[in-house]
A and B are shown apart, each in its own frame.
Chain A
Amino acid sequence: MAAAETSAARRDTVPRLLAFNAEHYADKPAYREKEFGIWQSWSWAEAKSEINKLATGLLTIGLKPGDHVALLGRNRPYFYWAMIAAQTNGAVPVPVYQDSVADEIAYVLAHCSARYIFAEDQEQVDKILEIQDKLPELKAVIYLDEGGMRKYDRSQLHNYRDIQAAGENASQKQKADLAKREAAQTGADTCAMLYTSGTTGQPKGVVLSNDNIIKTAEASSDFDKLNVNDSVLAYLPMAWVGDFIFSMGQAMWTGFCVCCPESNETMQHDLREIGPSYFFAPPRYFEGVLTNVMIRMEDAGKFKQSLFHYFMDHAQKVGGNILDGRAVSTSDKLKYWLGRLLIYGPLLNTLGLSKVRVGYTAGEAIGPEIFSFYRSLGINLKQLYGQTEASVFITQQPDGQVRSDTVGVPSPGVEIKISDNGEVFYRSPGTFVEYYKNPKSTKETKDKQGWVATGDAGFMEKDTGHLRIIDRAKDVGKMKDGRLFAPKYVENKLKFYPTILEAVVFGADRDMCTAFINIDLQAVGNWAERNNIAYSSYQELAGNPDVYKMVQNHINEINRDVAADEMLSGCQIHRFLILHKELDADDGELTRTRKVRRRVIQDKFKELIDALYGGKSEIFTKTQVTYEDGTSGSISATLRIEDAVISSAQETAA
């Protein structure tokens, strides 16, 4: 007993955290899942008993310390338990993206030579059976949902509950063996292995130790004062490091409740029922929800609409300040309170965000107006910057210092340095151990002193200490005079305007920056309709002088913005034109995921670029286009080239 207490007091492995929680928060809810239309819940004591049965069961079917245990399924309490059960045995859980096709999964499973695989249902089991030949080490597949698998060969296939039953019926010796395995572990042992998505080349297995995960979880939980009464909705892939930190690391450290939705499609509905206090979502989620709200408001009655807009305008004015605790006049406070009663409260309730105390978004840049929409409603939405190799947290925004254009200050315990070419390096307790079976990549990414290259370029703001990310380091270039050229940074800023669909900025090895603009036909078309501007095609609308004026104003604003950053002031756009056609994947100008293909555009529109830099005020051009049916034709147009206003850093400072 005394030994058990000291090991619980050590809190340096996940099974020890579980023991701690089961002792201190025995009756508090640990996991919830909606099944058969009802929220089922398990307390920490119940969870521990479930995990213990499973861990013993795994031992009886031959799981050894150091084995890799892969998991294929959506977020379910059973899978979190499976991970902890593996850890209890000293084995390493490897969650895998469950929507990947069999071939993609094959690489990961073979690379980690997974010996045991947890699979959710027939769909996942079928994938494993398909690639079985490539997995000589595989010993058993354990499934949760039996549906459709009655006639499958059972020699390697086990029901989750049968394994638990085997654990219950295990011999005393086996139970003692499990206790020994659990006691033998230390903070330096591997906690989990997570594969990076691998946009370039094959995915890499990031080995994270108990210390990595637990110290990061501790620091980040303290940072946001997360505690046992919080709850989180676990709906993002389990293979993603974020979910691992939120639903495993932080949940185990603080003892808060992890809630799993019924299915992917019911997430929004389940979110509303649970009302989590801690919430993470990628920017596109917040964007989608906002668009939905706006579309549905269009359908509302005139009175409701005007009420909504009146109070939303007020929230935009003072909501952020109230949230950050800045001084706001009493009448404004009163009006905001009224707004909360009539609009903000009901809206948040519908979105399932009423109780959110801490919300995070990350992964890509979030539009400033989207960001401020949620903050003005009183949601403490913040940004963080992280990656798998750092156990997520590199920087995050402290309460009261939240802005849309930075990713925050270094997280507790994280050191950051910026190399000469602008690349961000970090060193932290969460820094990964190694890439599994890949010492070469490990060496390239992490140096001897433990500094890890992020591959992103950025800079620290001098007066606030916030980190700002500019672009992928390899995409950042230099201008002729040596100033930094970060096209994507400027393009993203431009694309935040609803009227601008696409922008391509040029300037590498030149003395100034120029830009191609694509207008958003829908947004600008709406605007044209309201202002009685007739047009018959994209080309005609794009050439309209008023449209040019509007875009010019946007660019002037961006220039003022960019000039404020000393390092990026060279990226101001001097001249621009609005393209006569939409950039299109069919013409090879964009990738299928709508990313700009810079090289192709540079070659294809060479004469336009020459005209931008040659000082002409208009240019005639003829362009090949491919239609959707595969035939091609050409369009010709005379494009106007306009100058934009260039700001100097001093002007903005003044």
Chain B
Amino acid sequence: MSRKTASLDSRDSYVTADGRTIGPAVMEMQNITLRFGGVVAIQDISFDIREGEIRAIIGPNGAGKSSMLNVINGFYHPQEGHVIYKGEVRKPLKPYEIAHQGIARTFQNIALFKGMSTLDNIMTGRLTHMKTGMLAQALWWGKAQKEEVENRAFVEQIVDFLEIQSIRKVPVGRLPYGLQKRVELGRALAAQPSLLLLDEPMAGMNVEEKEDMSRFILDVNEEFGTTIALIEHDMSVVMDLADRVVVMDYGRKIGDGTPDEVRSNQAVIDAYLGVSHD
């Protein structure tokens, strides 16, 4: 893994040590600056996300990671710079356009419908794939019925994949935290995203739950070829999972590269991993 990924052109593809093909960049962030009034959340950051890779964004608290994720999925529009997604410069988006562009995400503080069952929650992820109108769906008539059966079958594949058969009918509010995170991942997967954003998928989990989640993230990437961008605090998890890592501090990018490169980057060590005192 001594390859210098920074030297790659954004249109190149390469094969990783474990045999996955990483394609050209699907998303390029060019000199992004994001301000909230006088507060500069992100300052002049550029990086790309390649097709099929697991890209991590790390940094201390308040570094601007979640803001970055919101820029990636189009929820925030940066004051300066360009987001190039699938070869086109992105314009400011309306919420329904955000949902339709093929980017799905999970949230740091779980945003599920607590009173609804696991199945219903994951079904909501299929919404953008349903075409029949509200009336037909309410009456469950004709095409709407066929459509729901098809989508339900797809959801069942996800239920099987995430091994959550036993909680199908359980209201998610009653589930333990780790399982709720898994359901949220399921909902994001149901949208069949081309880019999956995970905001601290391991936060608040015990070791076993973290292992499970890591396994699922790797499997999603491998089985479905989904490109994944994730924010995570747990360094060991990031270093094991990610192909490339962006390191942020106070809204700036201070490092970018493979886990090994990042680990040996002095600015990163000082800012995030702690200054060594010998």
Chain A residues with CB under 8 Å of chain B are: 35-38, 147-148, 150-151, 262-263, 265-266, 269
Identify 15 new A-B residue pairs, CB closer than 8 A, beyond the known A37-B165, A150-B223, A151-B222: A35-B160, A36-B159, A36-B160, A37-B159, A37-B168, A147-B219, A147-B223, A148-B215, A148-B219, A262-B165, A263-B163, A263-B165, A265-B165, A266-B166, A269-B166
Q: Mark B152-195, 1 if CB is under 8 A from A, else 0.
A: 11001101110101101000000000000000000000000000
Q: Which 4 A-B pairs have the closest CB atoms?
A: A265-B166, A36-B156, A266-B166, A262-B165
Most buried by A among B160, B161, B218: B160
| Closest A residue, CB atoms, query B159 | A37
Residues of A within 8 A of B19 (CB): 151
Q: With the chains together, A648 CA to B23 CA distance in Å?
A: 87
B18: interface (CB < 8 Å) = yes
Give 27 CB contacts A-B under 8 Å: A35-B160, A36-B156, A36-B159, A36-B160, A37-B152, A37-B159, A37-B168, A38-B156, A147-B161, A147-B219, A147-B223, A148-B215, A148-B218, A148-B219, A148-B222, A148-B223, A150-B222, A150-B223, A151-B18, A151-B19, A151-B222, A262-B165, A263-B163, A265-B166, A266-B165, A266-B166, A269-B166
Choice from B18, B153, B218 contacting A36 with Cβ under 8 Å: B153
- Closest residue of chain A to B168, judged by CB? A37
Residues of A within 8 A of B161 (CB): 147
The total number of A-B Cβ pairs within 8 Å is 35
The distance in angstroms between the C-alpha atoms of A269 and B163, with both chains bound, is 15
Proximity string of chain B (221-244) to chain A, C-beta cutoff 8 Å, 1 when within and 0 when not:
011000000000000000000000
Q: List, in ascending order, chain B residues with CB within 8 A of A265's CB.
A: 165-166
Q: Which residues of B contact A151 (CB under 8 A)?
A: 18-19, 222
A interface footprint on B203-227 (CB within 8 Å = 1, 0 otherwise): 0000000000001001100110000
8 A Cβ contacts from B116-165 to A? 152-153, 156-157, 159-161, 163, 165
Q: How far is the CA of A269 from the CA of B165 in the complex (A)?
A: 10
Q: Is the CB of B166 within 8 A of A37?
A: no
The DSSP consensus for interface residues of chain B is helix
Chain A residue with the shortest CB-CB distance to B219: A148
Q: Give the shortest distance, in Å, between B43 (CB) and chain A (any CB).
A: 40
Residues of chain A within 8 A (CB-CB) of B223 are 147-148, 150
A143 CB, nearest partner CB in chain B, Å:
15
Choose from A38, A148, A263 the contact partner of B166 (Cβ within 8 Å): A263
Determine the distance from Cα of A528 to Cα of B227 in the docked complex, in whole angstroms.
62
Closest to A269 in B: B166
Query: A262 contacts which chain B residues (CB < 8 A)?
Result: 165-166
Separation of A56 and B122 alpha carbons in the complex (Å): 41
* Complex interface: chain A residues within 8 A of B215 (CB): 148
Q: Determine the residue in chain A with the shortest Cβ distance to B18.
A: A151
CA distance A266 to B118 in the complex (A): 14
B16 to chain A, nearest CB (A): 10
Please give, as numbers and ranges, the residues of chain B lying within 8 Å of A266 by CB-CB distance.
Answer: 165-166
Beta-carbon nearest neighbor of B19 in chain A? A151
Q: Which residues of A lie under 8 Å from residue B218 when comparing CB positions?
A: 148
Could you tell me the distance in whole angstroms from the C-beta of A34 to the nearest C-beta in chain B? 8
- Nearest-neighbour CB distance to chain A for B19, whole angstroms, equals 5
A269 cross-chain contacts in B, Cβ below 8 A: 166
Inter-chain contacts of A35 with B (CB < 8 A): 160
Most chain A beta carbons < 10 A, residue from B18, B157, B223: B223
Provide the bound-state CA to CA distance between A263 and B159, in Å: 12
* A38 CA to B153 CA, complexed, in Å: 10
Distance in angstroms from A37 CB to nearest chain B CB is 5
